[in-house]
């Protein structure tokens, strides 16, 4: 049982990534940027209001900005960390040696994925002291804070799994990275555009007296990170989506189900395709 839980690939990748000075330089720069943004926001807000205190309503706005900054960090950095993990080994011609070891395909794929996810998780956790400064001014509940972190990690794991999948299926790192960023842009840009079109069509139907439930529109709203996080921070947005689609199914359940399924399917396909060209034992 202990040998199954042991993952040498994960141990090697974590040591290589966290022993690099570039990793901690990146964390330092990220924290400096967050501190500058938070204190700059507080200074500008209090200066414009002509007060020396920070209102709870302004704290909610700051928390929303920080949440979307964290979301942007996950969306744009995760593909760069995961899209070249397997294809990079193939380009360096070290993948055949890795496949001849006693490590299973799942251990290799999960080790590569978790090493990248852990670095981004460290980046998010390192920013928690700055992120949690909003509690000093009120307006934010700890439950909302924990929900935001939970769904950030769900999104991080799903996009990282897609990066591992494309890195396994595509031989070139550049093409794999383009495919991963393309899928990310599909969920963040094309999906909300399709949602707006469907809602517009549904509103025309409502005006003509033939309104029907828009399950497709509700699904599109559920799988779009921006719409979902906006509804998480402002419950009235979730109610507006339900009013427009006439579907009362909670958005957070659809988000968890979809991105959980994306993670599982991506890891499963990557595991099956990793040794596809190797001769099977007779």
pLDDT, tens digit, for every residue of 197-249? 888 887 776 666 666 778 888 999 999 999 999 998 888 888 888 888 888 88
Cα 270 to Cα 35, 175, 230, 242, distances in angstroms = 39, 16, 32, 36
- Tell me the Ramachandran region of residue 92: left when phi exceeds 0, alpha when psi lies from -120 to 50, beta otherwise: alpha
Q: Choose among 132, 119, 15, 146: nearest CA to 66.
A: 132
CB under 8 Å to 53, separation ≥6 — which residues? 46
Cβ(165)–Cβ(274) below 8 Å: no
Q: Residue 52 pLDDT more than 50?
A: yes
Helices and strands per DSSP (H, E), number in the chain: 15, 0
pLDDT at res. 259: 95
pLDDT band of residue 53 (cuts 50, 70, 90) is low
Q: 54: pLDDT confidence band, cut at 50, 70 and 90?
A: low
Nearest to 92 by CA among 182, 171, 163, 198: 171
Tell me the CB-side half-sphere exposure of residue 21, using CA atoms within 13 A: 0
Indicate if the pLDDT at residue 257 is higher than 50: yes
**281 domain-assigned:** no
Give the pLDDT score at 57.
74
3-17, 55-69, 141-155: least confidently modelled range:
3-17
Between 184 and 203, whose confidence is greater?
184
Q: Residue 68 falls within a domain, yes or no? A: yes
Is residue 282 classed as helix, strand or coil in its secondary structure? coil
Please tell me what DSSP assigns to residue 3: H
CA distance 221 to 242: 10
Rounded Cα distance, 149 and 146, in Å? 5
**Mean pLDDT across the stretch 14-30?**
79
Is residue 281 scored above 50 in pLDDT? Answer: no
pLDDT in tens, 84-115: 888 888 888 888 787 887 788 888 888 888 88
Q: Classify residue 265: in a domain, yes or no.
A: yes
Candidate from 50-54, 76-80, 185-189 with smallest mean pLDDT: 50-54
Q: Torsion-angle region of residue 279: left (phi > 0), alpha (psi -120 to 50) or beta?
A: beta
Q: Does 282 fall in a domain?
A: no
Mean pLDDT of 253-268: 94
In whole angstroms, what separates CA 99 from the centre of its chain?
Answer: 29
pLDDT of residue 207: 66
In a domain, 1, yes or no: no
Can you give the residue range of the structural domain that contains 192?
Answer: 7-273
> What was the pLDDT predicted at 206?
66
Q: Is residue 215 part of a domain?
A: yes
- Stretch 4-17: mean pLDDT, rounded? 72
DSSP state of 134: G
Distance CA 38, CA 49 (A): 17
For the cut 60, the answer to whether the pLDDT of residue 41 exceeds it is yes
Helix axes 173-185, 56-82, angle to 10 degrees: 150
- Structure confidence at residue 210 (pLDDT): 64
Share of the chain above pLDDT 70, in %: 91
Kindly report the backbone phi and psi dihedral angles of residue 218, in degrees, each rounded to the nearest multiple of 5, phi listed first.
-65, -40
Residue 135: inside a domain, yes or no? Answer: yes
Looking at the predicted structure, is the pLDDT value of residue 19 above 80?
no
Considering only residues 205 and 157, tell me which one the structure prediction assigns the higher pLDDT: 157
Instruction: Give a yes or no: residue 279 inside a domain.
Output: no
Please tell me the predicted confidence (pLDDT) of residue 49: 67
Which pLDDT value is given to residue 282? 38
Q: What's the structural domain count of the chain?
A: 1
Instruction: Give Cβ neighbours of residue 272 (< 8 Å, ≥ 6 apart).
Output: 105
């Amino acid at each position: 049982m202990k040998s199954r839980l042991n993952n040498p690939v994960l141990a090697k990748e974590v040591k290589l990534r966290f022993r690099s000075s570039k990793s901690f330089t990146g964390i330092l720069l990220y924290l400096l940027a967050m501190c500058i943004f938070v204190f700059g926001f507080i200074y500008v807000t209090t200066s414009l209001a002509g007060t020396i205190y920070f209102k709870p309503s302004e704290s909610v706005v700051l928390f929303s900005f920080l949440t979307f900054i964290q979301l942007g960090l996950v969306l744009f950095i995760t593909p760069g960390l995961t899209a070249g993990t397997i294809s990079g080994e193939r380009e360096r011609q070290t993948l055949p040696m890795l496949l001849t070891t006693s490590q299973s395909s799942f251990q290799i794929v999960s080790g590569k994925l978790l090493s990248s996810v852990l670095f981004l998780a460290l980046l998010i956790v390192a920013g928690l002291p700055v992120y949690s400064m909003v509690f000093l001014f009120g307006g934010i509940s700890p439950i909302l804070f924990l929900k935001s972190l939970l769904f950030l990690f769900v999104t991080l794991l799903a996009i990282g799994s897609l990066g591992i999948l494309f890195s396994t299926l595509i031989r070139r790192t550049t093409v794999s990275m383009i495919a991963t960023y393309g899928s990310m842009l599909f969920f963040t840009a094309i999906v909300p555009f399709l949602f707006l079109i469907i809602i517009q069509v549904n509103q025309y139907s409502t005006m003509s007296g033939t309104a029907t439930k828009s399950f497709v529109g509700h699904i599109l709203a559920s799988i779009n990170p921006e719409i979902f996080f906006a509804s998480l921070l402002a419950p009235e947005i979730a109610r507006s989506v339900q009013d427009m689609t006439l579907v009362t199914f909670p958005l957070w359940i659809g988000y968890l189900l979809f991105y959980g399924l994306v993670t599982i399917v991506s890891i499963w396909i990557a595991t099956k395709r990793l040794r596809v060209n190797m001769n099977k034992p007779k």
